[in-house]
Structure 1
Amino acid sequence: MQQSAVPELAHTHTSPIQWVATATAIAGVVALSSVLQPDSATAAQPGPGARTAAAPAAAPDPTGVAFPIECGPAKALVQKKASGDLDGDGRPETVAVVRCDAGSGTPPSGVYVLTQGRGEKKPRVVATLVDPKDRLSVTDFAVRDRAVTATLLGYSSADVPSCCPDVKDLAKWQWKGGAFVRSTPSEARSV
């Protein structure tokens, strides 16, 4: 007969006290888990007075906005748009670069800030950063860090053809003291 390499177990039979201890431990785990369970899931909507996390406000959509730009028979065309919370109120504004859809040439651009309050059905223009009457075209446009930046192409005199802007200017607008304040990161220079 061959001897087992494993020493004999000290006890191979359970006693009633071991069964009582095991049953008590399992009952404790079951009782504790019933206390610590999460709220039951439901497909019903929360009732009145229930608090839910507010969804972030959507940025105003410039589609269909009546911009203050004179285009005659042509339509106003939103060339670029960008959104961000410019005034720090927790609601995003949209900045739109708009020009007349002239088909040819270099029509001047307007840069407009749109907002839409709670309960308002349509966005509205609250500021004009670049007026089309100034005969400027907008390139390199962005909204970042609560500021609007753009490169403005313009003309040194009325004699310069509208096809060929000869002045380039960098501009930055920030909300300060209840208005958009323009700063010029660098001097205007010829193109």
Structure 2
Amino acid sequence: MFTPQRRFTRLLSAAAVALAFVGGAGLAPGAVTSAQATIPQIRGVAVVDMQKVLGDTKQGQAARKKLEDSSKAKQEKLEQKRKKLEADTGKLKSLQGDKLAAAEEALQKEYMEMQQIYMTMQQELTQQESRVLEDIYKNCQTIIDKLAAEKNVDLVLIRDDSTVLFVEPGLDITAELVKRYNAKYPS
């Protein structure tokens, strides 16, 4: 006796076989369907490691240094504010009554200002980084277009450990991209 699940499985199998016969009826082996005919053949594929491009190009290195310097300056400003808050917190121990309440309120206000400064700083750094990356990516695109045409490549993928699991070394055009980028955009 068949269980409902087993009946359903057999029904699906029968439906799949029927569709295979109906869908393939009238096609000779090796015949091309209209959907297959509209898909262009890919001549070649290449990959580019954009993290390596950012780290190895002169412009990428200069941008990283500029971002690090900007971040360091902003962090120093934030650190000064934090130290002042810490010192003010230490002073609370000697206060009482209304003076203590007023000092705590002022301290809370300064703490919130410091958090706002931090959030603004993070946003500014993110925007600055986005502008730099956008410029570098745009510059890379023109070079990649030429490289792809020279190498008869129709598809260039960004090499990323989470999306590209294996690449034959000959398909990676990163080194050539970095070389041409540095020649065209010396910094």
How does the TM-score come out when normalised to structure 2? 0.23
Which of the pair is proportionally richer in strand?
A: 1
Larger Rg: 1
How does the TM-score come out when normalised to structure 1? 0.23
Q: Which has the higher contact order (CA 8 A, sep 6+)?
A: 2
